[in-house]
Amino acid sequence: MRKLGWNISRGWDVRRPKGLRRWRPGRTGGFPAQVLRGLGQVMLLASPWTGALGCLAVALADWRYAVYATGGAALGTGTARVLGVSRDRLDPGLEGFNSALAALCCAVLLGPSRPSTALFAAAGCAVVTVLTAAAVRLLRGWDLPPLTLPYCVLAVAVSAAAPAFARLRPHDGGPTGPAAAPGPAGPHLEEAARAFLHNVSQLFFLERWYVGALLLAAVLLADRTAGLAACAGSATGVLTAWVLGAPAPLIADGTMGCNAVLVAMALYGVLLPAAPATLPYALLGAATATVLTPAVAALLGPLGGRAFTWPFVLTTLCFLAAARSFPRLTGRGEAPAGPVPRRAPRGSSVPAGRRSTGHGSGAEAGTESVACTVSTRSPAPGRTDRVP
């Protein structure tokens, strides 16, 4: 039986992309490659080429945002290296994507041209590294990955605290999240096509169709399965919002469907195997994240009404935890008919008689990596599993 977990060459998957099969943990490429993989992990891929193309796509829209994203990934990875985080997390870029998103979020909310924004973003990247270590510790008991939870926590804190400080307070209201707005329900064909690409570009806070097209191409080049899942998630987000009567402007700008893209990728081929049974499950998760987006935005209304990636985090963790009750989704097969196996120790999420495949020692804060599922077989040579 194949084992699920965080694969160091791609992310959560049971295999490597074809273009990365020769890559081994010993051939990391050093700090620059770790930074680029951190950028690639924003799209759930530990490919330095995906990260480089993603940075290029952001630079086409605004070079300052590209500087913030790359600098954030570098600061987060560098801070983790200084604090002694294991290379099991550094090499695949697991310490870079939350800090990249945090720095980019500060640039979008506070203005990229202000020196105070740059200083605040740099400090935020260090804080995100601490939050990541804490999230890994807290979620390891449930064998769940932290995903973008550290970034979401910091983003909400920045939204709440910035108005209280004159040197941080944004000059304008900044981009707003989904909310009830007047307008026709359902976009035209051209708007729907733009929404399909904006759903992808909004992963980097941008409403640019060409950025979404380049990001989607980067994902497809790295892994066709991940690219197709992203396309399916984006289409599901647009369709769900249109069927439920969301205003056309909110569908077209991509804020309603960006979380659906991440959920579809995570639940089809990344956190769960890419199989016929998991495809409808992943699309259901994408639709759920689309519905959850305006709900989260409404709850965060006093802070600006931005949902960030909270719908992705909440939906993915919920669906991933539930998937353990569905053997056809996890690939474990049907439960054998016979004597009930002995119960696992109290508080353990690992079935009795099986060994956890996590990595790291208890002495390293935030360096543990707990596998999504477990197997009685040892990993194949050259294969390691990680958890964000």
pLDDT tier for residue 89 given thresholds of 50, 70 and 90: very high
Domains 1-174+355-380+382-386 and 178-332 are alike in CATH topology? yes
pLDDT tier for residue 333 given thresholds of 50, 70 and 90: low
Residue 190, pLDDT score: 82
Torsion, CA 319, CA 152, CA 134, CA 67, rounded to 10: 120
39 burial via Cβ count (<10 Å: 0-12, 13-18, 19+): buried
Q: Is residue 6's pLDDT more than 60?
A: no
Tokens of 40: 């690639």
Long-range contacts (CB closer than 8 Å, 24 or more residues apart) made by 244-250: 244/291, 245/185, 245/186, 246/178, 246/185, 246/294, 247/180, 247/181, 247/182, 247/183, 247/184, 247/185, 248/183, 248/184, 248/185, 248/186, 248/187, 248/188, 248/191, 249/181, 249/183, 250/178, 250/179, 250/181
Least confident range from 55-59, 76-80, 227-231, 367-371: namely 367-371
128 burial via Cβ count (<10 Å: 0-12, 13-18, 19+): buried
- Tell me the mean pLDDT in the region 22-42: 78
Residue ranges per structural domain of the chain: 1-174+355-380+382-386, 178-332
Fold of 178-332: Ammonium transporter fold (1.10.3430)
Residue 184, pLDDT score: 56
Q: Is residue 349's pLDDT more than 90?
A: no
Torsion, CA 297, CA 146, CA 20, CA 382, rounded to 10: -170
Whether domain 1-174+355-380+382-386 has CATH 3.30.70.260: no
